[in-house]
């Protein structure tokens, strides 16, 4: 199917005489829920990097909606955090786009989840902020130092807390440098150590996962976009944790997620390669693809051959068509609680019927044995009980995450739609069901329901839309 021009992807709409933000942003992954106030319920994170505040255009904000036995809704307790909030370092500046990227983990091992927030377009020397959890929620922040400030720092973030010391990490992606910060972390902003790796021209995507069950997170990052490939080279442990001979030999992509998709106790690496192949059958698949590298006692090996999932794979709904961008968003979560995590895949440019670029989300059930794809199912805005409808340019599935927001043991699926509401964006929460998330009882968050002006934008983040081209599988 056709894709609109890059200008249309981030098209501005004039509302009340004010231009909605149209510059590209890069909240690559959906914001993962975390229990920031220690009440036993995970809290929903809603980035609004295009928020204009106190006359500062696109200064950015993060809204946290606190979970409860009733889950989250527009009337739940919520907190809006900006660089002008008490306890948050920095100042409210135009163009900072605070909240462009986020990551969640208990960094200082005090029982409260912490939130890492990126402002990669800020001109400040320090563009990554850690907001520390407490009984009162997120009330204090510190900045991560940058020893070498070049390019857009914080294009993506990953955080993982697997144990004391260096088993807890923050990984920061950028277009020039990728930096890993290792614990122990403390609320005064101190940490154990950091290692910077030069990655000129990188797309900035990063991920963390324990692929060999060592107890320490392995690092994933992507190299520069290559004209002969549909995506970027995939680099595992490329800086500071292991000796590595180069990027993975088989495969490329733009985004990664991690989780145990076959229930063997080893974390697996899932990579999205959403752009059209430069050489069909060699470097990509029509409509996009997802690559699955299995973890083992040897981790992810340099020559490993991944399992490939497309919309032509047996059991996967839909059809692979040019421009679908299948794999532009990813999350991995055990949605049916069988011990083998599901792969959730966004295709924000996919058409539904004659409605172009409205977007779909596909779930690939985890399997303890056999090929992935069997039993796949999908969602879009015309799915029963989802409170919306398919419209051109909604980009449903721009970002994805999952987490149990009401402590019923059934994870909610959280879906961003960057183009909804004339580019202001929206985030949908689908309740966990007996065997899968369901549209019944689903909720949608918009700037209006959050009490924010409609001239603000990018609720939920822009994902990889900054990298998805207008029509021929290349990038802008």
Q: Is residue 402 part of a domain?
A: yes
Q: How far apart are CA 233 and CA 253, in angstroms?
A: 7
In this structure, are residues 229 and 214 in contact, taking their beta carbons and an 8 Å threshold?
Answer: no
Q: Is residue 345 part of a domain?
A: yes
Q: How far apart are CA 282 and CA 229, in angstroms?
A: 9
pLDDT at 321: 95
Residues of the chain with pLDDT under 70: 1-27, 125, 147-150, 239-245, 456, 469-476
Report the number of distinct structural domains present in the chain.
1
pLDDT at 57: 85
Q: Is residue 395 part of a domain?
A: yes
Distance of CA 191 to the CA centre of its chain: 24
Q: Is residue 290 part of a domain?
A: yes
Q: Is residue 15 part of a domain?
A: no
Which residue from 434, 411, 396, 363 is spatially nearest to 44, judged by alpha carbons? 411
**Which domain CATH number covers 233?**
2.130.10.130
Q: Is residue 306 part of a domain?
A: yes
Q: Is residue 96 part of a domain?
A: yes
Q: What confidence tens digit (pLDDT) does each residue in 32-81 have?
A: 999 999 999 999 999 999 988 888 888 899 999 999 999 998 888 999 99
Q: Is residue 21 part of a domain?
A: no
Q: How far apart are CA 249 and CA 204, in angstroms?
A: 20
In this structure, are residues 281 and 357 in contact, taking their beta carbons and an 8 Å threshold?
Answer: no
- Taking residue 348's Cβ as centre, other Cβ atoms within 10 Å add up to 33
HEC readout, the chain: CCCCCHHHHCCCCEECCEECCCCCCCCCCCCCCECCCCCCCCEEEEEECCCCECCECCCEEEEEECCCCCCCCCCCCEEEECCCCCCCCCCCCCCCCECCEEEEECCCCCCCCEEEEECCCCCCCCCEEEEECCCCCCCEEEECCCCCCCCCEEEEEEEEECCCHHHEEEEEEECCEEEEEECCCCCCCCCCEEEEEECCCECCCEEEECCCCCCCCEEEEECECCCCCCCECEEECCCCCCCCCCCCCCCCECEEEEECCCCCCCCEEEEEECCCCCCCCCCCCCCCEEEEECCCCCCCCCCCCCEEECCCCCCCCCCCCCCCCCCCEEEEECCCCCCCCEEEEEECCCCECCECCCCEEEEECCCCCCCCCCCCEEECCCCCCCCCCCCCCCCEEEEEEEECCCCCCCCEEEEEECCHHHHCCEEEEECCCCCCCCCCCCEEECCCCCCCCCCCCCCCCCCCHHHCCCCCCCCC
Question: Which residue range is the domain that position 210 belongs to?
Answer: 32-469
pTM as predicted: 0.91
């Amino acid at each position: 199917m056709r894709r609109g021009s890059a200008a249309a992807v981030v098209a501005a709409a004039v509302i009340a005489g004010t231009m909605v933000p149209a510059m590209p942003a890069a909240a690559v992954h959906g914001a993962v829920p975390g229990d920031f106030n220690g009440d036993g319920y995970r809290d929903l994170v809603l980035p609004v990097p295009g928020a204009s505040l106190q006359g500062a255009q696109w200064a950015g904000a993060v809204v946290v909606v606190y979970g409860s036995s009733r889950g989250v809704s527009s009337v739940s307790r919520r907190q809006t955090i900006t660089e002008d909030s008490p306890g948050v370092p920095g100042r409210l500046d135009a163009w900072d786009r605070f909240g462009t990227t986020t990551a969640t983990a208990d960094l200082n091992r005090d029982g409260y989840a912490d939130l890492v927030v990126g402002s990669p377009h800020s001109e400040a020397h320090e563009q990554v902020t850690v907001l520390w959890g407490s009984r009162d929620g997120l009330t204090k922040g510190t900045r991560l130092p940058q020893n070498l400030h070049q390019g857009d720092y914080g294009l993506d973030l990953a955080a993982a807390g697997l144990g004391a010391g260096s088993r807890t990490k923050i990984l920061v992606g950028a277009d020039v440098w990728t930096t890993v910060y290792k614990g122990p972390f403390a609320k005064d902003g101190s940490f154990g150590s950091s290692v910077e790796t030069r990655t000129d021209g990188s797309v900035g995507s990063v991920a963390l996962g324990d692929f060999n069950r060592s107890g320490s997170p392995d690092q994933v990052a992507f190299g520069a976009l290559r004209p002969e490939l549909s995506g970027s080279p995939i680099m595992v442990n490329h800086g500071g944790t292991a000796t590595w001979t180069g990027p993975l030999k088989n495969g490329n992509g733009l985004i990664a997620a991690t989780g145990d998709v076959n229930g063997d106790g080893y974390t697996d690496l899932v990579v999205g390669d959403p752009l059209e192949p430069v050489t069909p059958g060699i470097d990509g698949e029509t409509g996009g693809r997802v690559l699955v590298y299995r973890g083992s006692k040897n981790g992810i090996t340099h020559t490993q051959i991944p399992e490939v999932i497309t919309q032509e794979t047996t059991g996967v709904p839909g059809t692979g068509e040019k421009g679908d961008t299948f794999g532009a968003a990813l999350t991995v979560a055990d949605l049916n609680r069988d011990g083998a995590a599901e792969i959730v895949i966004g295709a924000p440019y996919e058409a539904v019927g004659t409605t172009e670029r409205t977007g779909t989300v596909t779930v690939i059930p985890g399997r303890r044995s056999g090929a992935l794809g069997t039993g796949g199912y999908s969602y879009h805005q015309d799915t029963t009980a989802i409170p919306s409808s398919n419209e051109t340019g909604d980009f449903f599935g721009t970002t994805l995450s999952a987490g149990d927001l009401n402590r019923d043991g059934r994870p909610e699926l959280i879906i961003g739609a960057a183009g909804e509401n004339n580019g202001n964006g929206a985030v949908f929460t689908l309740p966990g069901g007996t065997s899968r998330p369901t549209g019944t009882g689903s909720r949608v968050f918009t700037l209006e329901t959050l009490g924010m002006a409609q001239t603000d934008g990018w609720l939920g983040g822009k994902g990889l839309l900054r990298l998805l081209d207008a029509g021929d599988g290349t990038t802008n």
